[in-house]
Every structure is written in structure tokens, then in C-alpha cells.
Amino acid sequence: MKYRGFGLFVSCCALIVTLSSRPQATNSQAQKGTSGLSPAEQDLLNEINQARAQPQVYAGYLEKLKPLFNGKQYKTDTLEVETMEGWDAVEDAIKFLRSAPPAGPLSSSQGLCRAAFSHVKDQSASGATGHAGADKMLVEERVKPFGTWQGDIGENLVYGDESARERILTWLIDDGVASRGHRKRVMSQDFKVAGISCGPHPEYGAMCVLTLAGSFSDLSTAPAGSETKKANSTGNTETKPTQVKSSTKMP
């Protein structure tokens, strides 16, 4: 099985599983609950909101990884991976989380979930990765059929059959991404609503799309003729990561 966090550090999976108090969630498009989210999607939203509410707790999870690093090499009894930045990326995430104020929870938006699902559906069929869809649209265009957004808008992607805890720690570490954009987006107080969709991916087994906005009006409730307010669009400029070979075929 391959794992990929689109330029993120995903090689900490083996240890993070032992740190998580949650059972590993399924990543398929499972039956939706009353919230409109599958169990995997709801778990991820819950995990994101816990990290936003308690950043120092998540700094503690990351601190436990230090003994497994030797330079850029990350090694457990069953896994050996050459990371892009090594412990430096994890330490940077810890410093960020130690000083971060708590942020309010993200509310689930049906329109943003639909936009996220459209990207999952696209890449589940094509095997592609990245923010651009087969039609070359990025998130700010992809959401338009489902409503209008206000404030900032952004998108995080993660590839691999991971638990919710692993996915949020992957975004927080943000290995190999100089801007730390994934970390900043998931912890930003400017984002109030989110859409999540998780589904299968032919190369990496599973994928999740997190779409974020300051606020979002679903098409059914949006004022007739209203235009999307394009403030700051984030999440579409990350470069494709260099793949790292390992015995477990993790990039």
C-alpha cells in the first residue's frame, strides 16, 4: 500500500497508530450518517476540531516521535523512510502548536462536502493526484456549482489508507512544504466551515479532500444572482512532492 500526503510527511504512520486512542477508521465511501458524513469523514472532522481546540495536546503527540529520527531517516521496527526534512519539520510543527491559540470548531457544509466529493470521484476514477481536477479546475472554481463562498477558501489533500489521527498529524507536520500551508489552513481561525470527502484511490488505496471556507451559502439558499467573493484563495500552489522510496513503497 502506498501513502502520500501531497508533499506532506506521512512516514510517521506506524508510530502514530500507537498514539491514537481511536480505532483506525475506514476510508471508503461508507454509508453516510445523519450528519451527511461517512464514519471516516466524521472521524476526520472530529480530529481536526480536537486539534484546533487543543493544539498543545497534538504537540505532545508529535514530541513522542523524536526517538525514531536519525537525521532525515525515520525508522521503526517495521518501517524505514527517508523524509524530506527529518525531525526539523516535526519540531517546527511542535513550536507552532505550542504557541497556537485554540481555534473554534469547523462546521460541516453540505455544499463544500459536495465539492470535495466531486474531486474524490474524479481522482478515484483517474488515479490522478493534486489540486487540479481533470477539467483543470481548482477549488475556487470547483465549489461554484454548489454555492457561494465568503472570506478565504482552501483545500487540503491526503492520500493513503490512514486513520483520522494520522491524517491530521500529516497536515500539521507538513514535511517538504516551505509555506506550511496545509498546517496553517487546518488551524486557521479564518476558516469556519468545511467539507470532507474520503474515498478509494487506485494507486494509494484511499484519499481524503478537505475543503475550507470562511463561510458558505449552499446553492439552494444562496441569493439569486449572487457572485462568489474571491478574497484569498489558498491551497492550490503546493508543488508536487519528490517521492521517497522505501521497503513499504511509501513515497
How far CA 50 is from CA of 105, 144, 158, 234, 237, in Å, comes to: 8, 29, 18, 22, 27
**Average pLDDT over the chain, rounded to an integer:** 81
| Residue 91 clears pLDDT 80, i.e. is over it | yes
Summarised one tens digit per residue, pLDDT across range 4-24 is 443 334 433 323 332 333 334
For the residues 85-102, what does the mean pLDDT come to?
97
pTM for the model: 0.79
C-alpha cell at 185: 489552513
Residue 3 has pLDDT above 60, yes or no: no
What mean pLDDT comes out for the span 116-122? 98
Can you tell me the mean pLDDT for 96-112? 97
State the average pLDDT over residues 218-233. Answer: 50
Torsion, Cα of 62, 104, 178, 246 (10° steps): 40
Q: For 127-165, how does the pLDDT look when each residue is reduced to its tens digit (9 = 90+)?
A: 999 999 999 999 999 999 999 999 999 999 999 988 999
CA end-to-end span of the chain, whole Å? 10
All 3 cell numbers of residue 209? 479532500
Name the pLDDT band for 81 (thresholds 50, 70, 90): confident
Query: What integer pLDDT is reported at residue 14 of this predicted model?
Result: 29
Instruction: Give yes or no for residue 26 having a pLDDT over 50.
Output: no
Distance CA 61, CA 64 (A): 6
